[in-house]
Structure 1
Amino acid sequence: MGSGPLGARVAALCDEVGPRLGVSLQGQVFGVRRRLDEPLRVAIAGRLKAGKSTLVNALIGRRVAPTEVGECTRVVTQFRYGTTDRVDVVRRDGSRTSLPLDEAGMIPSRLGVARAEIAFVDVTLTSDHLRDLTVVDTPGLGSTNTSVSDGASRFLHGDAVAPYDDDIDADSVGAVSGAEAIVYVFTQAVRDDDVEALEAFRSVSARLASNPINSLGLFNKVDKLVGGPDDPWPVAGPLADGQAAVLRRVVSDVVPVVGLLAETTEAGRLTAADCEALRTLAGLPATERMILLASVDLFTRRDCVVPRAQRERLLRLLDLYGVGFALARFAAAPRLASGDLVRALFQASGFPRLRHTLDQAFRWRTDAIKAGWALSALERIASHAAVPADRELLRDAIERVLQQPEYHRLRLLEVAQLVGTGVVELPEPMEQELSRLALATDPQWILSLPGAGPRELAEAALAAATRWRVYAVAGAGPAQSRVALVAHRGFYLLAQQIRAGAPPEPAPPTVGYGYGGQVR
């Protein structure tokens, strides 16, 4: 996936300035240039046993990442698109050892390289899901192994050095601070240390892109909220909404999912034989089905027409909630096709909403996220330049880009981050208006005037610009004034866009606040 218009302009900056810099800086600038042409990199973070690898498999559409804690779950693993399936164990010195996938098509349980020597595992797969998305599976937080290699640090976040909370696994810190978007996975209710972990991640990677605009909370294993086959969604939905309110300053949204069902359906693990076994179970008397679904022990050990080994497999694939859901479907429609059952299970997993949210919250803003990340990375390179001429050359080029009107969106995203994360406080209506301006391009949605014509929209945009200007000079503190002046110019440019007749883009859902990079 190539760069969008903002990213393309930053790429041109790199092409223009890179060859004129010293040799040591050229490599760093061209590294930024390469990242602009890569798919959006999303890190999956969370604590041990939160179900991260299961969700990684669902995102990839194949069961490749091991879900049991072992050697290969304690290292950063990158999954990206390739023309062949391949596993490379990358050492700290940059050398690689290639391994085949095991008989089950998964990463081998033994990597054949001492853990202390491993920088990361690089997996390329022929999965269409990875064409526009690179997924980084991080070690679980709270791991006893807190060493991170120099090689992994360079790969994931260049030469940046950032402080992090002692409770945060260093490998996870490195991967998250190098990603352009973060999915934080938790189970049951959000704990205080989950909030602390998210706050720590944000502080670690703030200058590289971590904030609510591209951070998503994933409430996994919601089927465990209720007993056995009972429907968890009446509980999970409101609970996720409440947690989204609690985490509003650190994530754009909280999406509840049943990760096991998502993996099973997206990775195509449910076979025709599995569906026929479920159909047979659904044909049993209702009382017998109820007894079987009362507990795991009863489901696997009670005498039944379906062999015990098959029932144990069904539990591994679906757990009691998924089995109960499937039996109810077959009981209601005995001739239901296997494909229709799989699609119904996929819907029951909650994963379609996650896919939609990723598309809307992350991919929709990929260009702005990547451009913001690249500009902040270039600014960091400039600040570490040993030769003053190189430093000024880079900074002058960055400033020229930021003077262009279309790049005001980056400043809008920056100040929206400050407001969304609580650094700068605004009255709630103004905070919401700023969020719409920063996160959308549809004038009707930004101005809350559905169906309005160009003239009415232009007048409303100018009125908003005036309102923010008045607020900036009368009644606002210094930080609020800076935010207000950025919003003022944003609404003024919006009015110009409307008058010029620029076609609006579709508005995304309201999913958060923030900006992916820190630019001046």
Structure 2
Amino acid sequence: MRESTIAGVSDLIQDALAVYHDDPAAAAALESYAVRLAEPLRIAVAGMVKAGKSTLLNAIIGEEIAPTDTGECTRIVTWYRYNHTPRITLHPVAGEPRTLPLKRENGRLVFVLGQDRPDDVERLVVEWPAESLREVTLIDTPGIASLSEGVSARSVSFLTPADAPSEADAVLYLMRHMHASDIRFLESFRDTETGRSGTVNALAVLSRADEIGAGRIDSLISAGEIAERYRRDPSLRKLALGVVPVAGLLAQSARSMRQSDYESLALLAAMDRSDRERLLLSADRFLRASVPEGLGADARASLLERFGLFGIRLGVVLIRAGFTDPTPLAHELARRSGLDPLLAMVTGQFHARADALKARTALVGVETLLRTTPREGSGHLAAALERLQVNAHEFRELRLLATLRTAGTGLNENLAEEAERLIGGAGTAAHLRLGMEPEVSPEEIMGVARQVLHRWRLVAESPLMDRSGLDACRIVVRSCEGVLAEFAALQRQGA
């Protein structure tokens, strides 16, 4: 996003603070929007109970710091932020925040709430020196549609507040299968103040993908086919930027692999194939077995808990295929878990648009304030707000992306599909916009961009194009011009 737009949003907030300086609630809200502009992007991880939210969050962070059991801490909204020094802060519903002790059990972080009940805790904030948290704040939310109405309501009110921007700039929504309740939540997230701004900012994750194929080695292939079918489903397509299958448990354990994990997998890999296949027919059989020698009951239980049968089978196959060192094995397991495509999509769809999404949240907050708490002398705020919304091309791309996936435009199906890609529907990198491979040269990108720009200018000049189609063409043309301008600037710098 252009610095002038970010500066304009920041100036708007300061002007609004001057108008609402005598309203403590309004001033506090405006100050929070100013802080959000300077902070990393906020991505919430949401989904139904036992969808694997905390497990996937650990995989993304690369450490097991989010509780994955069904304990009381999974009922609390928990923020994970970067800091050089680890710290856990409990923010109660009433009273002052306090620091919790740092405690680990079996390598996992444990939250000790003391006398506080989950219902008395507004949020937990975990600050951790993980590189993956430098550019993003991850927010773990309680399960939606929980048997406890209070737990479910806590997530819904946090993510879809009434008459206010969501606390999250974007959402990773986990689902085991696509149910009506999943669609209802995504619709409610779209219908928040932020969603009504014309932004598709949710990404669906087909979590626990290994279970789709009953733990077979080819489970992720089957899950990928299902994810593609979901992606094309009209009811989900308009609500999410994409659908990605991930074996969350394998991803988490691969990113935090221990030497003991590798040694246990290596013992299994050394077994006779037929004996090993019989051993891995079921979890019960694996736990009860006495072979191979050296793999004790505790080690079996730990391996099964951390990797599941799918991860164990895949790890053994990879070791026998030549991954005989823990580090390369861990990287390959993470790749095959589906985590890498998910991280790439999060980077392309969310990180690349971080400034636009944060600025959009701030503008929605100011717009809501002007509508719900009007003030004399605020006309200049409304005018400045409208200028920012209309003139920022990043916002126009986000609105068009939502329109293409919902109401549609005057473009035919092929042009609409290409337009979606050119405005960043598959990611904002130039090669993704143009449908090219990552390794193409800048000269090739510029050549294709010129061709595409010329063609879309001709499309825009068609006398048969209606107003909505013409508006879409103008945005696409501007996006193509942006790609050319970006690479022309790079060439000048390298000259």
Do the structures match in fold with TM over 0.5?
Answer: yes
Compute the displacement of 1:433 (Å). Answer: 4.2
Work out whether residues 446 and 487 of structure 2, in 8 Å CA contact, stay in contact via their aligned partners in 1. Answer: no
> Would the aligned equivalents of 1:76 and 1:171 in 2 still touch at CA under 8 Å?
yes
Listed one character per residue, the Cα deviations across residues 172-228 of structure 1 (whole Å, up to 9, x for unaligned) are 3413532111111011x312222222222222354477853x211111111112234
Of 409, 413, 421 in structure 2, the residue corresponding to residue 428 of structure 1 is 413
2:326: which partner in 1?
338
- Partner of 1:284, secondary structure, is coil
Normalized against structure 2, the TM-score is what? 0.85
- For residue 423 of structure 2, the aligned residue among 423, 435, 438 is 438
* Cross-structure match for 1:262: 251
Q: Does 1:223 align with 2:210?
A: yes
Q: Which residue of 1 aligns with 2:79?
A: 78
Q: Could you tell which deviates more after superposition, 431-440 or 64-73?
A: 431-440
Contact 1:76 / 1:136 at 8 angstroms: preserved in 2?
yes
The alpha-carbon deviation at position 6 of structure 1 amounts to 3.2
**What TM-score do the two structures reach when normalised by structure 1?**
0.81
Post-superposition offset of 1:20:
4.9
In structure 2, the residue corresponding to 1:389 is in which secondary structure? coil
Letter in 2 for 1:23: D
Question: How far has the Cα of 1:415 moved from its partner?
Answer: 3.4
What do the CA deviations read for 1:420-452 (whole angstroms, capped 9, x no partner)? 123767532342244245325859956999663
- Residue 238 of structure 1 corresponds to 225
Q: Structure 1: how far apart are the matches of 2:453 and 2:192?
A: 40
Q: Quote the Cα distance in structure 1 between the aligned partners of 2:94 and 2:2.
A: 31
* 1:41 to partner: Cα distance: 0.5
Equivalent residue for 2:373? Answer: 385
Q: Where in structure 2 are the equivalents of 1:13-412 lying within 5 Å?
A: 13-24=12-23, 25-93=26-94, 95-104=96-105, 105-108=108-111, 110-147=113-150, 169-175=153-159, 177-187=166-176, 189-204=177-192, 206-207=194-195, 211-212=199-200, 214-246=201-233, 247-266=236-255, 268=256, 270-304=257-291, 305=293, 306-333=295-322, 336-390=324-378, 392-402=379-389, 404=391, 407-412=392-397
1:471·1:484 contact (CA, 8 Å) conserved in 2? yes
Quote the Cα distance in structure 2 between the aligned partners of 1:273 and 1:341: 13
Structure 1 residue 44, shift from structure 2 partner: 0.6
1:95-121: CA deviations, max 9, x gaps? Answer: 212102223351425453133322111
Amino acid in structure 2 at the alignment position of 1:13? L
Aligned Cα root-mean-square deviation (Å): 3.1
Tell whether the 8 Å contact from 1:180 to 1:208 is kept in structure 2 after alignment.
Answer: no
| C-alpha deviation, 1:386, in angstroms | 3.9
**Displacement of 1:413:** 2.1
For residues 492 and 130 of structure 1, do their structure 2 counterparts lie closer, same or farther at Cα, with a shift above 3 Å needed?
Answer: closer
Contact between 1:140 and 1:169, CA under 8 Å: does it hold in 2? no
Distance 1:192 1:117 in 2: 31
Distance 1:208 1:237 in 2: 31
Unaligned runs of 5+ in 2: 161-165, 437-443, 491-495
Identity %: 27
Q: Which moved more, 1:413-422 or 1:284-293?
A: 413-422
Query: Which residues of structure 1 form unaligned runs of 5+?
Result: 149-167, 473-480, 507-520
Aligned length: 467
